A and B are shown apart, each in its own frame.
Chain A
Amino acid sequence: MVDGMIKEADILLAKEGMQTALEAGASAARFTINRSCMDLVGTLNGEIDKVNHSLDSSMSIQLFVDGRYAAFSTNRLESAALKAFILKSVEMVRIMAKDEFRKLADPARTEKGAVSGKELGLYDDTYDSMTPEKRVELALGAVVFDKCSSAKCKIISEEGEYNDCVFDTIVMDTEGLFCRHTETSFEYGVEITVQDETEAKYSGTWWDATPRLKDLSISRCGAKAFEIAEAQTGPRPRRSGKYRMVVDSECSSRLLTPVLNALSGHSVQQKNSFLLDSVGKKVFGDGMTVMDMCRTHGETGSRLFDTEGVATTEHAIISSGTVNEYFINTYIAGKMGVKPNIEDAIRPKVMPWPKPGMDREALMKLCRNGILVTGFNGGNTNSTTGDYSFGIEGFAFKDGKITHPVREMLITGNLVTLWNSIIGVGDDARLCKSKLTPSLAFEGVDFSG
């Protein structure tokens, strides 16, 4: 068994721990065992710069005692130390106020088919045979420091990182829950800084990650990062005004995340959401359909269960602009007097619209003129109003083609208005991310600079 995998002894320890908790007075308990192992090789300008080896283990413990609740975590997993920790934890729960809504998830709702951890096909056996030498070979093989050049700029630095890891998690509770999720990940990321003839510096980053080593596009990352850095040279100002906006799939999740946060049951219950009273209502434009594709075999981000052990389902969160649900866990369901579902969007995907198969170039053609946003730099969204303001980097485009880079620009508006002005959703979401947000096109966005 490779390092980073949960051992039978860990499971026995958790079972003993649950028994200790029950004997000390707990009415219920949920234990989550985590183990992981990560190896990293970093390069700087074509040479090995760092090696890291990380081996982690921890146990998260949620205890329900006399109608009270608290959560604990420790990485001291020796039997005696864990027992003392649990006894102390049970005592701490007793100082909390009673909360009738704290309880384990209904066993009828929990996942029954996640036993080996490998059901979703996210574990690559190649991981077992990885060696330090192989990792160094991969990291150095990706270096482009001496290979990329351009008349416009020169490379100042190239900082790359290859890593591979295994994560293994088991959730167990005193009602008999047992769910396991095991996955490997292979990742390479690189940042390249270039300098142009005016001595101005620009940086570009690119990365790829996948559960299977054979799918890792490691060789194209450096060239892509260089291309991104080089493309930013010679930025020109762009007059403030309303423009059509295309947002690249690399960064478009920035516009979806605050919407999903506003659908969180915690936010809604605390009245800290701009989407209060939205379920069943058409809030966004026709082009906004978000599916949770959480059980797709072999894909990054897929999960069979949430942190309570509740089974996930593939379903529509938002359909053609209509909000179908909030994310409600067992606790929030009790507090709000509604039915529970899943505590969060697991692997949300914004569906292509109005037709499949478009990428950012197709969206630029659709828009003809406007600004392509390739990155966000700072900014925020007001969680109670949906008003946003983000710094952006990107390019002006005309007749569907990029004309020049822009810098020091901001976009400002409201997320509900923005998602109502959607004119195109691409089909080019990056599969290395757990949020599948493709390139997006919007009408009439306020830019200032």
Chain B
Amino acid sequence: MIYDKNYYLETFNVTEEMLRRLSAEGLDRGGDYTDLYFENTTYNTLFLRDSEVSSGGFLTDYGVGIRVLKGEKTGYAYAESTDYSAMLSAARAAASISQGPSLSRGGELADSQVAKLIRDAKDRAATYTPIEANGGRPMRRFFQGLPNPAADRYPMQNEWRKAEIATFIPYLKSLEAAVRARDERVVKVVATLSACQSDILMYNSFGEMKYDTRPMGTLSVSVVFSKDGKIENASASRSFMKGSEMLTEAIVEELAEKVTNGIDERFEARRPKGGKMPVVMAAGASGILLHEAMGHAFEADFNRKGQSIFSDKMGQRICPEGIYIVDDGTMKGNRGAVNYDDEGVPGQYTYMVEDGVLTSYLHDRISAKYYGVTPTGNGRRESFRYAPLPRMRNTYMESGDARAEDLIASVKKGIYVDQFSNGQVKIGEGDFTFFVKSGRLIENGRLTMPVKDINIIGNGPEALKDIAGVADDLKIDDSAWTCGKGQSAPVCCGIPTVLINNLTVGGE
């Protein structure tokens, strides 16, 4: 949702002249670029436990982060108040990344000094020199940006902030009732509604101003089941960048079905015999493997520093022809959608792999400057307390032309996985591990014994090469995926049914 500019200036009690002066303060010791990120977030939660909505609450978080860049180096500080003096202290702390002398010498910058600092930095940041004495790397511009407005990818019909919180309680009760109606083995139900709304205002030393209001609603449920003295649990969630219109009886029913679906198999499931075997990943939530095992290694900061296994593979074939992997910030209402990223760069549809060839990393402004490319709108941050980093948005593989049932039928002995969790990757080595919450054995082309609580382990580049088939059934999974990279970010993922040969499956 996008209000008019004055709403944001009033929310943060600032003027454009103040923003310009703060930008100049950031440049005062020789910085190339300053940006300011204002945030006003309100966050409501309601919990249903033991059949009652008897706890919940809300929080407010308000402040401004100020970043100064000097080449690829970052100075960062923030203030939890938008009093000019507090912001000035933060700007000066961030400016210390540049070690040059201060024009202001700790005092107030004169108008002429503000103008000079901004003008000189613009020239500096825009200077293009093919090769400088910078390790032989080309020196590029900072991305100057595009004008407002961006597309509104998360309009709200009913704002969370304006809604009566009490009106949400019946949805939590309906959810519990729907879960219990589906399965008499239910022992405990915890249902949670989280509703967040953030006003964001961004300004940089190019004079660009970007702003939007970001909603995020998440409905989740966790259920404990008991059968013949055995206990199992399951959880499910749905999360969207939408207002409270996302709360419907349909989403309640969908969640209840998702959390109870397959519980019979979980009670019956066993650990299979481990070893190397083909793995068929079900469409949808298996996309988390793509996020962890490949997506992180495509983030440009890891590549810029030479840490990623893909850092010298740009332009090379890394998987079979016909495979396209995308990071999409443009899907309306999706948890990974961005009008602008957290550096004011428009959200985009970014191909990382096209027809099997690595064609782009995911860039923030720093890495884009380093590589001499346009930033891809992946500069994201948890809040004003954090400097932005290259982060994924909604990462998925596009559909292929196989049929899911044919991929399964082609496997003599292997595993079919429909729920992963707790994935982890080693960026340098490319090794990844995923915990399989549920799946089935594949024996002679047929799904047989349910399996659970095992791990799948592999190596990103090798797994990409070993992709043997991609089905035509891409599914985006709208669960509340949150990516951690020293700071959290809401993301989304998806995948069509995919067959990978030769992954290691842990077992008895």
Contact = CB atoms under 8 A, between A and B. Distances in A.
Contacts of B305: 44, 157, 159, 193
Nearest to A91: B165
22 contacts: A53-B93, A56-B385, A75-B80, A76-B60, A99-B54, A159-B305, A201-B309, A270-B188, A271-B187, A271-B188, A377-B424, A379-B433, A385-B232, A389-B455, A390-B455, A409-B504, A410-B274, A410-B457, A412-B454, A412-B508, A448-B275, A448-B505
A389 B435 contact: yes
Contact of B232 (A47, A384, A407): A384
A92 B165 contact: yes
Contacts of A391: 424, 431-433, 455, 457
Interface of A: 44, 47-57, 68-76, 85, 89, 92, 95-99, 102, 132, 156-157, 159, 191, 193, 200-203, 232, 240, 270-272, 274, 276, 335, 377-380, 382-385, 387-391, 393, 407-412, 446, 448-449
A76 B62 CA distance: 7
Given A50-B387, A408-B458, A71 B55 contact: yes
B455 A412 contact: yes
Best-surrounded residue of A51, A54, A449 (most CB of chain B within 10 A): A51
A97 B457 contact: no
Nearest to A414: B453
Contacts of B78: 54-55
Contacts of A157: 305-307
Interface residues of B, number: 76
Contacts, number: 223
B426 interface: yes
Contacts of B75: 50-52
Interface in B391-432: 421-429, 431-432
Contacts of A272: 188, 222, 224, 231, 233
B429 A380 contact: no
A271 B56 contact: no
Contact of A203 (B80, B426, B434, B459): B426
Contacts of B60: 73-76, 85
A47 B94 CA distance: 17
B121 interface: no
A378 B90 contact: no
B73 interface: yes
Nearest to A88: B58
A47 B506 CA distance: 42
Nearest to A411: B506
Contact of B506 (A54, A55, A384, A410): A410
B432 A240 contact: no
Interface string B73-111: 111111110000000001001101100000000000000
A89 B423 CA distance: 38
Contact of A270 (B74, B76, B190, B307): B190
Nearest to A98: B54
A201 B57 CA distance: 47
A75 B221 CA distance: 29
Nearest to A70: B57
A378 to B, nearest CB: 3
B94 to A, nearest CB: 7
B263 interface: no
Interface string B346-387: 000000000000000000000000000000000000000101
Interface string B150-189: 0000000000000001100100000000000000000110
Interface of B: 49-50, 52-63, 72-80, 90, 93-94, 96-97, 165-166, 169, 187-188, 190, 222, 224, 226, 231-233, 271, 274-275, 305-307, 309, 385, 387, 421-429, 431-436, 452-455, 457-459, 504-508
B459 A389 contact: no
Nearest to B42: A74
B275 A51 contact: no
A49 B71 CA distance: 10
A47 B425 CA distance: 27
A390 B454 CA distance: 8
Contacts of A48: 73, 97
A254 B307 CA distance: 25
Contact of A55 (B74, B80, B222, B504): B80
B458 to A, nearest CB: 7
Contacts of B80: 55-57, 75-76
Contacts of A385: 231-232, 453
Contacts of A72: 57-59
A47 B424 CA distance: 29
Contacts of B50: 335
Nearest to B40: A76
Contacts of B271: 387, 412
For the complex of A and B, the 5 pairs showing the least CB-CB separation, nearest first, are: A391-B433, A378-B433, A410-B506, A378-B424, A448-B274
A358 to B, nearest CB: 29
